[in-house]
Structure 1
Amino acid sequence: MQNLNSTLTTIISILIIVLFAFIFLILSPKALKGIEGILHIWEDELKARSSSEIIVGSLGLVIGLIIAFLISQPLLAIPLPYVGPALSVIVYGMLAYLGISIALKNKEDIAIKVKDIGSQKNETKFRDKTKAKSSAKILDTSVIIDGRIKEICESGFLEGRLIIPTFVLKELQHIADSSDALKRNRGRRGLDILKEMQDSEDIDLLIYDKDFDKIKEVDSKLLALAKELNGKVVTNDYNLNKVAKVSNIDVLNINELANSVKPVYLPGEEMRVDIVKLGKEHNQGLAYLDDGTMIVVEEAKDLLGQSVDVIVTSALQTSAGKMIFAKVI
């Protein structure tokens, strides 16, 4: 009897398997066509979307699935059979759809946010590069009193932060309090120029509150500060320029800048000048261009106070500037 029951159970199991296999055989083509149709719909939908929409939709899908995973964990713990997994499948489907839908509806806002983040990063990199390239410029007393530094900065040829050390400021104040009228006027002029530079919106000026008590000379303090800040010394002092170069410190010399931007006159060029002084040599007359360049004119002693046409014979570059030699046409 027991063998009969086991045989009957085996036959019933085989019949059920055969039945389901027959049903699957009949329904599988329709199921495959349905799945294929769904895939074609998805493919057509993706083709109709732009690459940005696909990226944003994928991002929304990922976020939706992550949230669904967190929510489904308590649902899977429900003791009722099949209830937890069924609810989890529903939650995954709903949140995946919501993630894609919400992301696509807000794609423009998301694109703007991403663009803003990218532009902020690029701007930060640009500022970092700019700061690295434009090192601090440390001004000495002579270049402040000279006054041309203000116009150079406002014209945009000198970028970066300008630093005025307190020991330079003290020296400038000491000159302004001098008993000598000429020194006093020069010191006050320097202080006035500093005030104008501080008030200018185009100039980044910083009073640097640090002194080197063990160093007595102001020029030596300037060089020590330039090394410490990895900056450049701005001056028109010839001796400070030489010492800084020997010390491997970058120097920006205002006089060298002025000489480099003066117009070049080649031998044979003609110009009209006013003879204003007598030269050191016999029969020489002196004239000056608007930029201060001195012109030595041969055989012009008797033309003092007159405007004459001259032709350039040669030019000489000296440490004090450029000299042009010419003769009367």
Structure 2
Amino acid sequence: MLKKVLRILFSIVGASLGYILSTSFLKLKQFDFVNNSTVKIIIFYLLSCLIFGLITFIIFPSVYSMIRKFLDSVEKHMQKLTAVELLFGAGGAIIALIISSMLGSILTSMIPKIGTLIYACLNVIAAILGADLAIKKKDEIFGIFGSIKKASASKEKKNKGVNKSTSKVLDTSVIIDGRIFDLCQTGFIEGTLVIPHFVLDELRHISDSSDSLKRNRGRRGLDILNKIQKELNVEVEITEKDFPDIAEVDSKLLKLAQTLNGKVITNDYNLNKVAEFQGVPVLNINELANAIKSVVLPGEEMLIQIIKDGKESGQGISYLEDGTMIVVEGGRKYIGQNIEVIVTSVLQTPAGRMIFAKKKE
């Protein structure tokens, strides 16, 4: 129904255009033969209105289709933008229009005939460029305002003698790991826990996986986040800041940490190394776990239970309460027994700590 009404209105506009053009044509010398008769003038007006109305009536479907496609593409592009990006785009367009208005008024006064046309084109181009530039630079603008806010807050806190901790950005692996909940519960983690929206999306994709192991890991991560929000007295912030130009989640995390001047909490060894290379502070839970394990020196004695055999012939394996593996030479024959051993050496690896020992004679 709407399409039919628009087609009729479009045809009326075409007929009006034909009437306006016919008035201009009658002023030309070539159409003096028409001006000789009132009937001819009326017929000429009717024919012009009919022809132009019919033309616009025929071409309306094509014009309507083009306009529809243009509006659909604009709508799709707008739907991809967040509310913050739309606000920044509108603000950028308004600022650009103010600047172009100043330049356009000068052009209009200098070139009266074509200045108005140039002025209109300049406004359109300036609005598009202003909106696009504001959306692309929104993260840097956020960073500027954030640094100003933090500077004023730090100045205020210096006067009050208060020190606020930096934000801690959680990555997917540390959320799934689950130890972050226990760590926050102890009170050793200070400041705001920042959970990016793209990390939540990754967790959701993992929890929807067809692989049962991945699905359980994803759901575990979401449960951990819910427990942190509901059970702990920790400030949690879910940020919608995203970096569409960056594909990898790890790279987005590091960029977000740089923007917030915060730190990344992870247990991913590779992410840790990349962050160190880029100068982003990282808190690695595995490093913390290794650091707080009990210190064992060569020559110390301990009572352990041999649980299983080792990789090498005759070796027995035992574990401390913190998970540290103990490799006992010749301990295979004592599987299931408690024996006293003497520590011979301690090996620290990126995966953890290993203790080598032998049976006390």
Q: Fold-level match, TM-score > 0.5?
A: yes
Tell whether the 8 Å contact from 2:345 to 2:357 is kept in structure 1 after alignment: yes
Q: What is the CA distance between 1:220 and its match in structure 2? A: 0.5
Q: Which residue of the partner structure matches residue 356 of structure 2?
A: 325
Q: Which amino acid aligns with 2:316?
A: G
Q: 1:128 to 1:198 in 2, by over 3 A?
A: farther
In structure 2, distance between residues paired with 1:211 and 1:129:
31
In structure 1, distance between residues paired with 2:253 and 2:159:
30
Q: Which amino acid aligns with 2:264?
A: V
Q: Which residue of the partner structure matches residue 328 of structure 2?
A: 297
Residue of 228, 234, 249 corresponding to 2:265: 234
Structure 2 unpaired stretches of 5+: 1-154
Q: Which residue of the partner structure matches residue 66 of structure 2?
A: none
Q: Which residue of the partner structure matches residue 135 of structure 1?
A: 166
Identity %: 63
Q: What is the CA distance between 1:200 and its match in structure 2? A: 2.7
* Paired residue secondary structure (2:342): strand
Tell whether the 8 Å contact from 2:302 to 2:341 is kept in structure 1 after alignment: yes
1:181 aligns with 2:193: no
1:263 aligns with 2:303: no
Residue of 272, 288, 291 corresponding to 2:319: 288
Q: Which amino acid aligns with 2:199?
A: V
Q: Which residue of the partner structure matches residue 273 of structure 1?
A: 304
In structure 2, distance between residues paired with 1:325 and 1:202:
42
Q: Which residue of the partner structure matches residue 190 of structure 2?
A: 159
Q: Which amino acid aligns with 2:329?
A: E
TM-score by length of 1: 0.61
Q: Deviations over 1:229-257 (max 9, x none)?
A: 11100000000000000000000000000
Query: RMSD of the alignment, in Å?
Result: 1.6
In structure 2, distance between residues paired with 1:209 and 1:167:
8
Q: Which has the larger radius of gyration?
A: 1
TM-score by length of 2: 0.55
Tell whether the 8 Å contact from 2:169 to 2:262 is kept in structure 1 after alignment: yes
In structure 1, distance between residues paired with 2:281 and 2:224:
24
Q: Deviations over 1:256-312 (max 9, x none)?
A: 000000000111111111111111111111101111100000011111121111111
* Paired residue secondary structure (1:326): strand
1:171 aligns with 2:202: yes
Q: 1:252 to 1:181 in 2, by over 3 A?
A: same
In structure 1, distance between residues paired with 2:199 and 2:247:
12
In structure 2, distance between residues paired with 1:297 and 1:175:
40
Q: 1:234 to 1:311 in 2, by over 3 A?
A: same
* Paired residue secondary structure (2:163): helix
